[in-house]
Chain A
Amino acid sequence: MSYAQRGRLGRMLLYIPLVGLALIALFPLYWVFVTSLQLPSYQNEEMESPVSYVESVPPKLYPYGITEYWSQWDKKRDAEKLGDEQAASFHAEKMQEVVAKTFTTYSYLFKSTDVLKWLWNTTYIAILGTFGTVLFDTMAGYVLAKKQFPGRMLVFWLIIATMMIPDQVTLVPSFMIVRLLDLFDTHWAVILPGLAGAFGVFLMRQFMIAVPSELLEAAKIDGAGEWRTFRTIVIPMAAPAMAALGIFSFVGLWNSFLWPIIVINDSKMLTLTAGLKTLQDANLSSFKLLMTGAAVAAVPIMIYFLLFQRYFVKGLTVGGVKE
């Protein structure tokens, strides 16, 4: 099914609202990056007092430093033409100040804090956790959808049931279990509970239910073992759902901060979002710093997502060819 036959007009009518919605959806993300690069407390020669562009409402749509840098560059060139060296160097200094102030929170994060360590911690926790989640949940989801065995529906409903108790009340018992297993202040305290979530199994089960059973039966007749069937038939077919789960699980692990703060005491062991919290002042957190932290946290997930994108398409072709 494609829209080719419906003509250009119909297509345009479709694209415009979709693009509009996409832009609305993307705005907060865009705003995070712009604010992280916004010019704070700056004064040029025409201003009476310093101005901050960071907290302006409505928000500025682009980093104001660009405009300011441009105008200073212009003035510097004019001054050079007139041979006014003093003015030229003044404007050159202003240009430097604009750049420095634009990136001030980035240089603070990368020079004065453990942000690189936190990034590394989070990356490997999220990758390990995601790998385990996707593997175990696909295995479990597959048998829950396609195998008959006693206790099947019990496990299914148990999985659904546990999601209905809010995390807020299970924090304390989870904390106790982590201590009981002597995992406190280690990364396992973050990874293992991350592997225990219910939603992934449920997701994979729902996805597998829709996969035609005939395909699996055919593989059985070929005499393939269970594990081989799983590896060669189930996994390729489930690729789109696995990709989705891989992304959900990664984003979840990446963004969680309260649990790491609770189970990790050593600040060098913290995850990124948790570590960034330890830099926020008590009463008034700096907007620019907050947004810079959010931007630094968002970039790796965005890269991860874009890398994973192709598996959505891959799943589609495999599923199509096989039948």
Chain B
Amino acid sequence: MKTEMTAQEAGGRISSPASWLKTWKKIGPAYLFLLPKLLLFGLFTVLPVGWTFLLSFQEYEIFDSHWIGLRNYAEAFRNEIFTGALWNTFRYTIVTVPLSILTALIIASLVFPLGHRSQTFFRASFYLPVVTSTVIVAMVWRWIFNYRFGLLNHVVGIFGMQPVDWLGQTDLALWSLMLMNVLIPPGSGILLYLAAMGSVNPSLFEAARIDGASAFQIWRKITVPLLKPTTFYLLILSMIGAFQVFTEIVMMTGGGPGNATETVVHVIYKTGFRDFEYGMASAQSVILFIIIMFIAVFQYKMLGDEGVERHKKRRNK
């Protein structure tokens, strides 16, 4: 709320030419700084997204699209495969996102205090695998899950248990995919946390240590709160990534067995690209959009800028 108040003040002074100029001096550069990005963003991102919204109210035909109001939406909710996919995707997100962010935070926190050389080494080892495409990572994981030759069944065998058909069992397949997601170290998250920790003023830690705070207290009371904006970013990005999980599904299960691992974007892809029903695919995307947006706003309320501001205020006093 605080930020919007200031924005109001800035916009509220438009009365005389002199104050116009003054206002422009104050806010003009901001628009100029935004301009190049907004032009490109508007053209190549906002327009396609807007088109998707419009198309969601149409029945798409190659030569003859026409408006059908909310029918696509009604039909999407009647489609059990789509609603099932929503539920699968929701479960996938709920399980994987917190775990992957927590992993990134813990690994980054452990790596950050190490010497420069160790930090460099770990940063590279955790991030570099991200450059290998998901397709190849999925190939490795198909081997790990392989019934006869796989690593997991080898481990299971050591404990004297029967081999498991990880991706083939209806109740297990989605959990196997979650396991895969959680066990792949979140390279981007670690990299970002390290970058964010790197820009925290070290004197903050010093002061706390002089006050007699333990390392864990410093981490909990200073490091983690200061990382909030990064955490918010990671939370939103991982959530979007998890809600839009696609390549892993195509590479690992194709949505099967049955519809056990069917996810929203996989359904959207089939609806649009295979069945050529772009109107329906757009409506399904908008439904996904509304769900993610709802959660994102909620997360913003919990974690967003206000949290940071409040913390700063407290610190300044």
Direct A–B contact in the complex, CB atoms closer than 8 angstroms: yes
Residues of A that sit less than 8 Å from B by CB:
1-3, 14, 18, 21-29, 31-32, 57-59, 136-137, 139-140, 142-144, 147-150, 152-153, 155, 158-166, 168-170, 172-174, 176-177, 192-193, 195-199, 201-203, 206-207, 209-212, 226-227, 230, 237-238, 240-241, 243-244, 247-248, 251, 254-255, 273, 290-291, 294, 298, 301-302, 305-306, 309, 312-313, 315-316, 319-320, 323
Hey, which chain A residues are within 8 Å of B129, CB to CB?
A: 25-29
Whether B123 contacts A309 by the Cβ 8 Å rule is yes
Cross-chain contact A3 with B43 (CB below 8 angstroms): no
Q: Is the Cβ of A25 less than 8 Å from the Cβ of B187?
A: yes
Contact between B48 and A26, CB atoms less than 8 A apart: no
> Contacts A195-B40, A202-B236; is A164 near B289 (CB within 8 Å)?
yes
Kindly identify, within residues 255 to 294 of chain B, every residue whose CB is under 8 Å from any CB belonging to chain A.
265, 268-269, 272-273, 278, 281-282, 285-286, 288-289, 292-293
Extra pairs beyond A165-B286, A177-B43, A315-B199 (10, CB < 8 Å): A25-B125, A25-B187, A58-B149, A170-B52, A199-B237, A201-B41, A206-B232, A210-B230, A241-B196, A294-B136
A149: chain B residues at CB < 8 Å are: 7, 10-11, 27, 30-31
10 A-B contact pairs sorted by A residue (CB < 8 Å): A29-B128, A148-B6, A149-B11, A155-B38, A164-B292, A165-B49, A165-B289, A172-B272, A197-B41, A312-B194
- The answer to whether B43 touches A196, judged by C-beta atoms less than 8 angstroms apart, is yes
Known A169-B278, A177-B47; judge A18-B110 contact (CB<8 A).
yes
| Contact between chains at B48 and A177 (CB < 8 Å) | yes
Of chain A, the residue at the smallest CB distance from B112 is A1
Cα separation A27 to B132 with both chains bound (whole Å)? 11
Pairwise interchain contact B185-A25, C-beta atoms closer than 8 A? yes
Bitwise, B234-247 to A at CB < 8 A (1) or not (0) is: 00110010011010
| Bound complex: CA A298 to CA B308 (Å) | 38
Binds A, one of B67-75, B93-101, B170-178, B201-209: B201-209
Q: Interface size bucket, B side?
A: 35 or more
Contact assessment for B230 and A206 in the assembled complex, using a CB-CB cutoff below 8 Å: yes
Binary per-residue interface labels of chain B (121-149) against chain A in the complex, 1 for a CB within 8 Å, 0 otherwise: 11111111111110011001001001001
Closest to A22 in B: B125
| The residue from B52, B114, B191, B240 contacting A173, defined by CB atoms under 8 A apart | B52
Q: How far is it, in angstroms, between the C-alpha of A240 and the C-alpha of B195 when the chains are bound?
A: 5
**B198 and A240 within 8 A (CB):** yes
Closest 7 CB pairs of A and B: A196-B44, A240-B195, A22-B125, A173-B48, A173-B51, A170-B48, A316-B198
In chain A, what residue has the closest Cβ to B40?
A: A196
The answer to whether A243 touches B10 (Cβ under 8 A) is no
The answer to whether B107 and A18 have CB atoms under 8 Å apart is yes
Contact, CB under 8 Å: A206 / B45: no
Query: Contact partner of A237 among B137, B187, B199, B233, CB < 8 A?
Result: B199
Residue pair B130, A32 in contact (C-beta under 8 Å) = no
Across the interface, which residues of B come within 8 angstroms of A161, CB to CB? Answer: 49, 289, 293
CB within 8 Å for A210 and B229 given contacts A168-B272, A319-B198: yes
Pick the contact of B305 from A209, A237, A244 — CB < 8 Å?
A209
- B278 and A172 form a contact (CB under 8 A): yes
- Are A210 and B52 in contact, with the CB atoms below 8 A? no
Residues from chain A with Cβ under 8 Å of B110 in the complex: 14, 18
Contact A137 B132 (CB under 8 A): no
A159 and B41 within 8 A (CB): yes
Q: Please determine whether A210 and B128 come into contact, CB atoms closer than 8 angstroms.
A: no
Whether the pair A59, B37 counts as a contact (CB closer than 8 A) is no
Distance in angstroms from A9 CB to nearest chain B CB is 16
Interface string of B33-63 (1 = CB under 8 A from A): 1101110110111111101100000000000
Task: Give Cα A72–Cα B23 distance, bound, in whole angstroms.
Answer: 81
A residues less than 8 Å from B47 (CB atoms): 173, 177
Determine the chain B residues whose CB is within 8 A of the CB of A137 once the complex forms.
Answer: 37
Whether the pair B7, A150 counts as a contact (CB closer than 8 A) is yes
Is B302 an interface residue, CB under 8 A from the partner? no
Checking B114, B192, B199, B296 against A319 with a beta-carbon cut-off of 8 angstroms, the contacting residue is B199
Chain B residues with CB below 8 A from A203, complex form: 192, 233
Count chain B CB atoms within 10 A of each CB in A1, A136, A291, A305 and give the residue with the most.
A1
Query: Which residues of chain B are near A23, meaning CB under 8 Å?
Result: 125
Q: A25-B187, A143-B33, A320-B202 are in contact. Are A59 and B143 (CB under 8 A)?
A: yes
Smallest Cβ distance from A27 to chain B, in angstroms? Answer: 7
Q: A153-B3, A230-B33 are in contact. Are A166 and B265 (CB under 8 A)?
A: yes
CA distance A197 to B185 in the complex (A): 25
Give the chain A neighbours of B293 by CB distance below 8 A. 160-161, 164
Q: Are B125 and A26 in contact (CB-based, < 8 A)?
A: yes
- The docked-state distance in angstroms from the alpha carbon of A202 to that of B199 is 17
Least Cβ–Cβ distance between B280 and chain A, in angstroms: 10
Instruction: Report the nearest A residue to B190, measured CB to CB.
Output: A25
CB distance A209 to B133 under 8 Å? no
CB distance from B307 to the nearest CB of A (A): 10
Which residues of chain B are near A202, meaning CB under 8 Å?
233, 236-237
Q: Does B184 contact A (CB under 8 A)?
A: yes
Residues in B whose Cβ lies below 8 Å from that of A195: 40, 44
Query: Given A29-B129, A166-B285, A196-B43, is A22 in contact with B122 using a C-beta cutoff of 8 Å?
Result: yes
CB-nearest residue of chain B to A317: B198
B157-181: CB near A (< 8 Å → 1, else 0) gives 0000000000000000000000000
| Across-interface contacts of B30 in A (CB, < 8 A) | 143, 147-149, 152
In Å, the complex CA distance between A237 and B184 comes to: 31
Q: Evaluate whether A164 and B240 lie within 8 angstroms (CB atoms) in the complex, with A155-B34, A244-B191, A319-B198 already known.
A: yes
